[in-house]
Amino acid sequence: MKIAIVILNWNGAALLEKYLPSVTQYSSEEDVYVVDNASTDGSITFLEKYYPAIRIIKNTTNGGFAKGYNDGLKHIDADIYCLLNSDVEVTENWLVPIKKAFAQLQEASIIQPKILDLKQKEYFEYAGAAGGFIDQLGYPFCRGRIFQALEKDRGQYNDIREIFWATGACMFIRSNVFKHLNGFDEDYFAHQEEVDLCWRAKNEGHKVYYVGTSEVYHLGGSTLSNMDPKKTYLNFRNSLYSITKNLPRRKAFVIIWLRLLLDGVAAIRFIFQFKINHCIAILRAHLSFYRHFRSMYKKREKANFILKYYATKSIVWSHFVHQVKKFNILVKD
């Protein structure tokens, strides 16, 4: 089983300097690649000087997360792609449980490890935590993280189980599956493209797994923080994209209508929080969604649709009304 560890970089020389040592130290048996999205901060010079063994793939433009990986992975030969953020610190033997899971779970096409917070290592990290799920309205959440509520890691998710989506911060995917799905949807640019990829994979009969015996630590927010309106824009828009593409037509229209109403509530909430830029970001997200609706709708033409895609009916209602902050309370396995 040949694994290629692939790090996408854009002006992240400081991150590479800080977190690449753990990758090279604990992944010595695998090939490590850096796909560079036309950086201008000396990233290439740094890699060539201090990491001559790392293979560098130079993209000509910054096409974001989706296009960056799509372009870079075309040049890599491996059985498994490990898509790893540049702000992730890996641990000793982190690859052993992943390899074992792929060998034993032939139906597993995508796997993610446990994602812990690099700044507070006893807590789960926002982007992925202990595996991703969505509710009936398409809102993503995780075991170990519901909205901004992060659980402390007490070993409660040290298991191996099927999930709905795996985080792009550290995602392992069989190369033939990635190619069959035509990679990430480049219209997303960044954020939630991994949710869409996993949703499309599951619609095709593939399975996504979480392996809690493998741990990595993620800094998070190194590209766009949660306080950046651009992240709000991409998250709201791209979530609507995924619903349009991956649900049966009638259900998709109902869910979109409900989501637009709830997005309006979120925009009003931002106004009362004096976050006007985030309110404007939601408006821009809707306008962009309307402009691209037809092209998104066409992408569903050859899709099959799974009907049981959600883990709970409304994560918004459960969290904000009933104050549910832990996955094990929300979803009974």
Residue 95 and residue 193 in one domain: yes
Q: Which of 153-167, 224-238, 307-321 holds the top average pLDDT?
A: 153-167
Q: What pLDDT was estimated at residue 224?
A: 58
Strand ordering across the sheet containing 140-142: 132-134, 140-142, 145-146, 149-150
Task: Indicate if 321 and 244 belong to the same structural domain.
Answer: yes
Do 34 and 109 share a domain, yes or no? yes
pLDDT for res 222: 54
* 7: β partners: 34, 84
The mean pLDDT of 96-109, rounded to a whole number, is: 97
pLDDT band at 300 (very low <50, low <70, confident <90, very high): confident
99 and 159, same domain (yes or no): yes
Tokens of 156: 């409660």
HSE-up of residue 136 (Cα within 13 Å, Cβ side): 10
Residue 303 clears pLDDT 80, i.e. is over it: no
- Tell me the CATH number at 137: 3.90.550.10
For 292, the token pair is: 């691209």
Domain boundary pick from 218, 245, 264: 218
Range scoring the smallest mean pLDDT among 125-139, 276-290, 304-318: 304-318
Please count the structural domains in the chain: 2
* pLDDT band for position 220 (cuts 50, 70, 90): confident
Using alpha carbons only, give the angle 14, 174, 95 rounded to the nearest 5 degrees: 55
Note whether 187 and 40 are same-domain residues: yes
163 and 237 together in one domain: no
One domain for residues 207 and 116? yes
247 shares a domain with 186: no
Which of 184, 218, 252 marks a domain boundary? 218
Mean pLDDT of the chain: 95
42-79 pLDDT tens trace: 999 999 999 999 999 999 999 999 999 999 999 999 99
Does some domain include residue 43? yes
Instruction: Confirm whether 203 is domain-assigned.
Output: yes
Q: Among 218, 248, 273, which residue terminates a domain?
A: 218
pLDDT recorded at residue 332: 76
The reply to whether 223 falls in a domain is no
Average of pLDDT values for 201-224?
A: 90
Domain match, 212 and 247 both? no
Distance in angstroms (rounded) separating the CA atoms of residues 157 and 213:
9
| pLDDT one-digit tens code per residue, 228-277 | 899 999 999 999 999 999 999 999 999 999 999 999 999 999 999 999 99
Q: Are 113 and 98 in contact (CB under 8 A)?
A: yes
Average pLDDT over residues 81-109: 97
pLDDT of 139 higher than 90: yes
**pLDDT over 70 for what percent of the chain?**
98
Same domain for 45 and 83: yes
Give pLDDT, residue 226.
66
User: Does residue 287 carry a pLDDT above 80?
Assistant: yes
- 50 and 193 inside one domain: yes
What's the token pair of residue 333?
């396995």
- Nearest Cα residue to 35 out of 47, 21, 19, 52: 47
The helix (H) or strand (E) run that includes residue 89 is strand 88-90
In a domain, 125, yes or no: yes
Supply the range of the domain harboring residue 310. 229-330
Q: Are residues 71 and 98 in the same domain?
A: yes
Q: What is the mean pLDDT of residues 127-132?
A: 96
State which H helix or E strand residue 220 sits in: none
Angle between helices 193-203 and 229-246 (to 10 degrees): 10
The first and second tokens of residue 206, run together, are 């593939």
- Does residue 224 belong to any structural domain of this protein? no
